[in-house]
Amino acid sequence: MRWLALFLFVALPAWSESVVLGLSQNEIAITTSFDGSEILVFGAVKREVPVPDGPELEVIITVAGPSVPVMVRRKDKRVGIWVNTDAVEVDRAPSFYAVATSGLLRDVLRDTEDLRYQISVPRAIRSVGAPMSITDAPAFTEALIRIRSEASLYQLRENQVAVDEQTLFRARIELPAALTEGAYATRIFLTRDGQVVSSYETSIDVRKVGLERWLFSLSRQQPIIYGLMSLAIAIFAGWGASAAFSLLRN
């Protein structure tokens, strides 16, 4: 029995490290003038023993918005007109996803660990089914990643996590203006030699406030009133523009 206990002790990883995390803000308010935001993710590595010898500590930070199904359509030019030809529904795709790393992603994370924890952008998207007529289903997921990357909704920020003395770390994550409401899951992974040795998760609450919240709630809860109000505003704006134009002509 003592030999078994000794074997289990020796088999444990040589490192025992955990994350102590901080956020510059855990709530983001979306107003009518909201044009994006930036959060600072910072923290420290808590250890019961001195820094172990061997591979250096690396840090990966991910921030993910709410995940929903997305329909991706392919367009083709037919008789001089662009029309939708094929469509694939991606089962789950985050509305926003950012990955920040202390080094190149391929150097700080093994493929097997990426598969296990779903860290990289492609792994964060779940697409398991496609119509039998679609022979290149992965191309639709690649197109979704490309489109959202161009809109800064998907980000890979390599070498953007600063690690000091293998103990303190920090990174800035830029959030675009087009944010979806909900809880944004924030994960921190500590890795050595590409293996995850510790992880931590928290969330950032993103909500509409003020007039933006009132209009959003009205459109969902009282769509008829919202429609009539929008029509009235459009009529008033049209009348106002016409009156202003008439005054300018005179």
Q: Could you tell me the pTM of the whole model? A: 0.73
pLDDT for 3? 39
Q: Which of 198, 194, 192 lies closest to 57, judged by CA?
A: 192
Centre a 10 Å sphere on the Cβ of residue 128 and count the other Cβ atoms it contains.
8
Give the amino acid at 242. Answer: S
Does the structure show a pLDDT above 80 at 196? yes
**Measuring CA to CA, how many Å separate 116 from each of 5, 91, 119, 236?**
29, 18, 8, 57
Q: How confident is the model at residue 12 (pLDDT cuts 50, 70, 90)?
A: very low
